[in-house]
Chains A and B, each alone.
Chain A
Amino acid sequence: MSTTIPAAPPAKSPAPRTQRRVRLTDRARHERNLGWLLAGPAFIAMVAVTGYPILNAIWLSLFDYRLTDPGGREFVGLGNYAMILTDGLFWKQFGVTSLITVVTVSVELVLGFALAMVMHRALYLRTALRTVILVPYGIITVVSAYAWAYAFSNTYGFVNGLLGLGEFDWFGGTWSAIATVCVAEIWKTTPFMSLLLLAGLAQIPDDYLEAAKVDGARAWQRVKRVILPNMKAAIMVALLFRTLDAFRIFDTVFIMTAGAQGTETLSFLAYRQTISRVMVGLGSAVSVILAVLVVLIAVMFVKVFKTDLSQQRGDRK
């Protein structure tokens, strides 16, 4: 147990602080060793399983490679990417994914904020609310998707009866099918959003609101001028998390529409190319593009909206 973890990578010295340190004291050295001893196993578990597949995916994306025809493997450089990016279908799926992302995240933000307000203010049923809100969060996505698929179904569901739509087939048209996917997705993930927002709300001291009241602010003015500006960090973090998640939507689509009626999303495309059609090269390229898009979204949030990730989780003290 006294050996160091050999996998310690050549870390780029994180801060100028360490560069200046002339010599390490025993204590600092001991701390180092203990640090890697403790963090090492988790690090290896994370890198071993994800590092190789990511590099492998990038490598394979440069080949025209079909699993059923290994001999026909051929290096095509960026050919797969060119093929994907010039394909109208890809852009259509990109559009569908973006549409679902924008719609669900915006609705979730508004709805989640309302939920958070109610949970924050409600005097009665406080515990009941916080418990019940966790059910959609904790439920398996596939189960949620089935529940909604059956609810909207014109064979089994109650939704048409409730809305007086008769035999309307929700899954028969692109727009209505996307709508059902959005509903299921919003139902399942709004609670997560609302809990993050609730944490932001709880951080605003009541004094601020009382001061605003004394200063003559009405309810809406208090929300707009006191609550929202002070929740900016929490809102941005919630938006970031949810946007990244929504953009990768897969389970719900798989169960509810199986990509039919033009509801295929990018994750679904990657899955279908690789697993169903065993076009490994092409599928890998789609995966890489998806990953790059997700990273772009994250970078955009951090750079453009100045989302401070450290704000959310515990760094406040």
Chain B
Amino acid sequence: MAAIEMRNIVKEYGDGFKAVNDVSLHVADGEFMILVGPSGCGKSTLLRMIVGLEDITSGDMVIGGDRVNDKAPRDRNLSMVFQNYALYPHLTVFENIAFPLRLMKGVGEDEIRRRVTEAASMLELTEHLDRKPANLSGGQRQRVAMGRAIVRNVNAFLFDEPLSNLDAKLRGQMRTEISRMQRRLGTTTVYVTHDQTEAMTLGDRVAVLRRGLLQQVASPRELYEQPVNMFVAGFIGSPPMNFLPAVVAGDRLRLPFLDVGLPDRATGKVTDGQLLIAGMRPDHFEDAGLLDPAKRDRGALFRAKVDVTEWLGDSQYAYIPFEAGEEVTRQLADLAAELDSEALRTQLIVKIDAMSRLRENHEAEFWADTARMHLFDPRTGANLTRDEAAAADLAHLEEEELRDRVDSPDAAPR
């Protein structure tokens, strides 16, 4: 086990395109780090540079104290689970898992058998050991790939979108399995995904990348609560954060449907009449009729006509279209394109209690938790209202949790 230290890592292609641009990232020993971002953000390239399948143009890659830039993958003592699992079709499950051991010198047949059996039982593959990969289900193949990764004592596990080929239900199960396995083995892990749910649920910390540039590295909670910019805010969370035009009018802020006081943290950073973008998460809203009265004063009430509602059993979404004006619409379209989604129309998505009986095409009264609203500069995308103190608290919390886990002796001995 080892920490992974990336210092000013750059990947530049022959045509001058920088797939990874000056990324510095420290993955602590035993930490579960997620690399996340839309397609083409450089996350897979970065992972492949860690493992050595991609040359590093400049910067230092240090694993367990050794600079490994010029080392071949086989000399880095890492294991990797590929998106398509990369199981060897001509070998049985047993031989697939045993493969890395067979390439090592001085590992006896008994030792190999013991270690493969152990890994197989941990992944519940024991009864499939004699089968060929072609005869396995998607979930089983995925587990064989994990078996091959954990059979050696490696410095770190690397995962390249390992769940993207599974259906939704299996993905949820395997997510939990991966998390459990990593907690149990306590091995440093770097996990690439484009799925923000995986990012939020699995990682100790999440590194958000955009066009090769590192945007923010933080715990899932901090990313959600205190994003540094509009990109991170829009990427993390599902359904995504609502972005609304907001015009500064003295010490007030005018939004569609709403008129609120300018948040303290924004004062001094904005000028009168300036157009900003306000970010409000769907769960920062409620049907005013079902609101806990204690919350009422923290936010603001407004009336709006609901277009479509989606009832999900445990919760409910309501869609409220609004006119955003040309500039904001264009901004939002650009952002959506970058996030691999499509800007179809400007609408407010609010999450309300499942009990609510809103009717489509009727006006209703909503409550918005305006205290948790963020304001973004439309030109730079920077968050003008990030609460650094709160962020630091969250980071501290996360660090303690990790230290707790890595130091705790309950991690199963290998």
Contact = CB atoms under 8 A, between A and B. Distances in A.
A206 interface: no
B106 interface: no
B257 interface: no
B14 A18 contact: yes
A313 interface: no
A17 B55 contact: no
B72 interface: yes
B55 A15 contact: no
Interface in A10-35: 15-21, 25-28
A26 B280 CA distance: 51
A25 B14 contact: no
Given A25-B55, A27-B55, A15 B14 contact: yes
B72 A27 contact: yes
Contacts of B16: 20
Most chain B CB inside 10 Å of its own CB: which residue of A21, A26, A27? A27
B387 interface: no
Interface in B5-39: 13-16
Interface size class of A (residues with CB under 8 A): 10 to 19
A16 B55 contact: no
A200 B391 CA distance: 59
B70 A26 contact: yes
Contacts of A20: 14-16
A15 B70 CA distance: 24
Given A25-B55, A27-B55, A28-B55, A17 B72 contact: no
Interface in B249-281: none
A18 B72 CA distance: 21
A16 B15 contact: yes
Interface string B55-67: 1000000000000
A58 B15 CA distance: 41
B9 to A, nearest CB: 14
A16 to B, nearest CB: 6
B282 to A, nearest CB: 37
B109 to A, nearest CB: 30
A7 B55 CA distance: 28
Nearest to A16: B14
Interface string B309-336: 0000000000000000000000000000
Nearest to A19: B14
A25 B15 contact: no
Nearest to B56: A25
Contacts of A28: 55
Given A16-B15, A27-B70, A28-B55, 10 more contacts: A16-B14, A17-B15, A20-B14, A20-B16, A21-B14, A25-B70, A26-B70, A26-B72, A27-B55, A27-B72
15 contacts: A17-B13, A17-B14, A17-B15, A18-B14, A19-B14, A20-B14, A20-B15, A20-B16, A21-B14, A25-B55, A25-B70, A26-B72, A27-B52, A27-B70, A28-B55
Interface of A: 15-21, 25-28
Interface of B: 13-16, 52, 55, 70, 72
The 3 closest A-B pairs by CB, nearest first: A17-B14, A20-B14, A25-B55
